[in-house]
Amino acid sequence: MSFLKRNINCGELRDTDVSRKVVLNGWAATVRNLGGLIFVDMRDRYGITQVIFEPEFNPELAEKAKEIRSEFVLWVEGEVRLRSNPNQVIPTGLIEVVASNFGIINKAELPPFPIEDGIETGEETKLKYRYLDLRRPELQRKFIIRNKLYQIVHQYYHDNNFLEVETPVLMKSTPEGARDFLVPSRINKGKFYALPQSPQIFKQILMISGFDRYMQIVKCFRDEDLRSDRQPEFTQVDVEMSFIDRDDIISVTEGLFVKVWKEILGLDIQSPIRRMSYAEAMSSYGSDKPDLRFGMEINHLSSGLMSTEFKVFQDIVAANGLIASIKVTNGASLSRKIIDELTEFAKKYGAKGLAWIKISNGEISSPISKFLTEEQMEFIIRSNDAKDGDLILISSDKRNRALTILGALRLEVARRQGIFEKVKNNFEFLWVVDFPLFEYDEEAGRYFAMHHPFTSPMEEDFHLLDTNPGEVRAKAYDIVCNGAEIGGGSIRIHDNVIQQKMFDKLGLSESEIDEKFGFLIKALKYGAPPHGGIALGLDRIVMILSGTDNIRDVIAFPKTTSGLSLMDGSPSEVELSQLNELGIDLFRKTE
RNA sequence: GGAGCUGUAGCUCAGUUUGGUUAGAGCGUCUGCCUGUCACGCAGAAGGCCGCGAGUUCGAGUCUCGUCAGCUCCGCCA
């Protein structure tokens, strides 16, 4: 007999089960040996159940139980009975299982860290032993949420007549956008597949094929640097619909979020979700994904400072830049050192400096007060609605830079003031709409598609395409929750002529277009329906649902910041013979 | 590509400012005792390439340079 199979799990026994004969399988979470009595907490995915070995009842068994150590895999047969000292902390705390027989199915080495919630072990150790980290209830809870999300997403789109279709993982490398992961072809030496950054083109082609409503929960790959909310492979809920406009995508997507929040968190989210133009988001929050859980909006000051004597402001006004500020309520108590730190923080975003005004006990103190007239100072204070005890932080720069700096400062100040901690159970959704079609890259000296090159311009801005491409707005939209971009999409170009014009604006040559996207252009000529869609960042949604700020917590086997998988040791070198088969020759970097 | 923080016992960390006997603590582990624990308790013990490599010095955990790794951020991420 290798082991007796369980007929009950470690989380389900209650006082109503008293005197049942049961068999448990699981891991020994903790062992408390009192000399005679031995208590073993058995753990599985469902919970923890206390098992007791009594020498009075079964001396040989109790003797054998002394061998049990942490994380041994056990089967235990016994009878359920009420505890004389109940434990109110766990759901099974009213009962215990009196062992009548048991076996060690497998021994375990001493784990490098305790398998329990709230541990402070370093990331490196935890990732190396990911299988042990994943044994912790805290982490399992997140994957249970993730699984619920999969089920709701599939059910929801199925109920709404969407078809799930799988798209290739080996596809053609395309320019624009993120760096591709490349896969060499053995059969076609010197040629490469790319892993999809998203199934964008395939889902559009599925629309041309008449699939009408497509969805897929799909892995995407981008060879870019990692962040706490970015992994090189991640999961999207990919959606595309035909014969629709922007509001159709928005309402279908909102329906999903309403259902998800209701079924997973038991919360009713406000629908319709608020909408804000990209222009307003940037102007008031300095971000295209504003966190609306708190205020601290950006106040624009240029208009009242046109005639300033202050050289720094003068130059900005003359260069058509922007002077703007945020108010830090009760910020006057912040020390010079803290303000210096905030200045350093602002410099990461390209700020040259940071001006500030403190109002404290009726006194105004500011390094720039000597450059401002009383009226100007009054104007700044009034514009910020600042009261005694407040601090005003002022940025003056090129318009977009000044806004970005203040947007970043707004979040940093909120973090330092403990505002995020206060609002951590709030959920503020937002649609950001009317994105620019293009953004200009100074370095490359040309326009790039802000969303992607298949995004449709708004009809009313068509006339600007040739004269002022930077002003053209796109039929693109992002969905934001608590300052995180959790999805984005657009209405696509279904007209081949406009698509050609778009490529033309992006500075792609005829031959380049033909080589990279020829198949899409061709497909668009065969009767493309109007279509559009959205891609939702599933990992980020799970992050928000499970209350974590790190994407590693919601991906079973994540990579480190430098893209390594510490458990399996990838990426790794390969055999020379493998490279030879692929026709690949490596060269070493020489200095 | 760049910046910051971190690396000392299985784990979490002190010690580095000002170089100097045998590198400490808590938790965990092991051994013994212990019949109602659930952070069990009590007594004892074991456990260290101070990330790695150079250098300075009579002497380096401590200073210098390099390097590797983890985390966070900027760039990057249509």
Instruction: Answer whether A450's CB lies under 8 Å from A435's CB.
Output: yes
Q: Residues A383, A449: one domain?
A: no
A297 in contact with nucleic chain B (CB within 7 A): no
pLDDT of residue A590: 41
Q: For the domain that residue A29 is a member of, what is the CATH number?
A: 2.40.50.140
Cα–Cα distance list, A63 to A42, A66, A296 (Å): 18, 6, 66
A367 in contact with nucleic chain B (CB within 7 A): no
- Which residues are within 8 A (CB) of A318 and not within 5 positions of it... i.e. 6 or more apart? none
Helix (H) or strand (E) holding A533: strand A531-537
Query: Reduced to 3 states, what is the DSSP secondary structure of residue A237?
Result: strand
Q: Residues A203, A316: one domain?
A: no
Residue A568 lies in a domain: no
CB-side exposure of A214: number of CA atoms within 13 Å? 27
Q: For the domain that residue A360 is a member of, what is the CATH number?
A: 3.30.1360.30
Contacting residues 92-121/A vs strand B (CB within 7 A) = 93, 96, 110, 112-114, 119-121
Contacting residues 182-241/A vs strand B (CB within 7 A) = 197-198, 200, 222, 224-230
Domain boundary among A390, A422, A454: A422
pLDDT of residue A504: 86
Domain span holding position A178: 139-276+429-555
Cα–Cα distance list, A352 to A60, A111, A317, A346 (Å): 77, 50, 16, 8
Give the total number of structural domains in chain A. Answer: 3
Q: Residues A409, A434: one domain?
A: no
- The nucleotide whose C1' lies nearest the CA of A438 is B78
- The candidate with the shortest Cα–Cα distance to A542, out of A229, A315, A98, is A229
Residue A126 lies in a domain: no
Q: Is A286 left (phi over 0), alpha (psi -120 to 50) or beta?
A: left
Q: Residues A365, A454: one domain?
A: no
- The candidate with the shortest Cα–Cα distance to A451, out of A475, A472, A432, A430, is A475
Residue A115 lies in a domain: no
Q: Residues A515, A551: one domain?
A: yes
Residue A6 lies in a domain: no
Q: Residues A402, A436: one domain?
A: no
List the pLDDT tens digit at each of the 591 positions of chain A: 589 999 999 999 999 999 999 999 999 999 999 998 999 999 999 999 999 999 998 999 999 999 999 999 999 999 999 999 999 999 999 999 999 999 999 999 999 999 999 999 999 999 999 999 999 999 999 999 999 999 999 999 999 999 999 999 999 998 778 999 999 999 999 999 999 999 999 999 999 999 999 999 999 999 999 999 999 999 999 999 999 999 999 999 999 999 999 999 999 999 999 999 999 999 999 999 999 999 999 999 999 998 888 989 999 999 999 999 999 999 999 999 899 999 999 999 999 999 999 999 999 999 999 999 999 999 999 999 999 999 999 999 999 999 999 999 999 999 999 999 999 999 999 999 999 999 988 777 888 899 999 999 999 999 999 899 999 999 999 999 999 999 999 999 999 889 888 888 888 888 888 888 889 989 999 999 999 999 999 999 999 999 999 999 999 999 999 999 999 999 999 999 999 999 999 876 443
Separation between Cα atoms, residue A428 and residue A230, nearest integer Å: 21
Q: Residues A149, A249: one domain?
A: yes
Q: Please confirm whether the linkage preceding A453 is cis (ω < 30° from 0).
A: no
pLDDT of residue A1: 56
A444 in contact with nucleic chain B (CB within 7 A): no
Q: Which residue is nearest to nucleotide B41 (CA to C1')?
A: A34
Residue A47 lies in a domain: yes
pLDDT of residue A591: 35
Please report the ipTM that was assigned to this predicted complex: 0.94
- The nucleotide whose C1' lies nearest the CA of A222 is B77
Burial class of residue A142 in the structure, from the number of CB atoms within 10 Å of its CB (0-12 exposed, 13-18 middle, 19+ buried):
buried
Residue A266 lies in a domain: yes
Q: Residues A56, A172: one domain?
A: no
Q: Which bases of strand B sit closer than 7 A to a protein CB?
A: 1-2, 10-13, 28-30, 33-41, 69-78
Q: Residues A379, A445: one domain?
A: no
Contacting residues 151-170/A vs strand B (CB within 7 A) = none
pLDDT of residue A146: 98
Q: Please confirm whether the linkage preceding A184 is cis (ω < 30° from 0).
A: no
Q: Which two tokens stand for residue A463?
A: 């006339």
pLDDT of residue A185: 97
Cα–Cα distance list, A318 to A5, A315, A404 (Å): 80, 5, 20
Residue A289 lies in a domain: no
Q: For the domain that residue A434 is a member of, what is the CATH number?
A: 3.30.930.10
pLDDT of residue A517: 85
pTM: 0.96
Domain boundary among A359, A390, A422: A422
Instruction: Answer whether A521's CB lies under 8 Å from A513's CB.
Output: yes
Tell me the residue ranges of DSSP E strands in A347-390: 355-360, 363-365
Contacting residues 10-49/A vs strand B (CB within 7 A) = 30, 32-37, 39, 41
- Which residues are within 8 A (CB) of A102 and not within 5 positions of it... i.e. 6 or more apart? A51, A53, A61, A64, A65, A74, A75, A76, A77, A78
Domain boundary among A407, A422, A437: A422
Q: Residues A83, A175: one domain?
A: no
Q: Residues A399, A519: one domain?
A: no
A561 in contact with nucleic chain B (CB within 7 A): yes
Residue A57 lies in a domain: yes
Q: Residues A435, A415: one domain?
A: no
- The nucleotide whose C1' lies nearest the CA of A226 is B77
A575 in contact with nucleic chain B (CB within 7 A): no
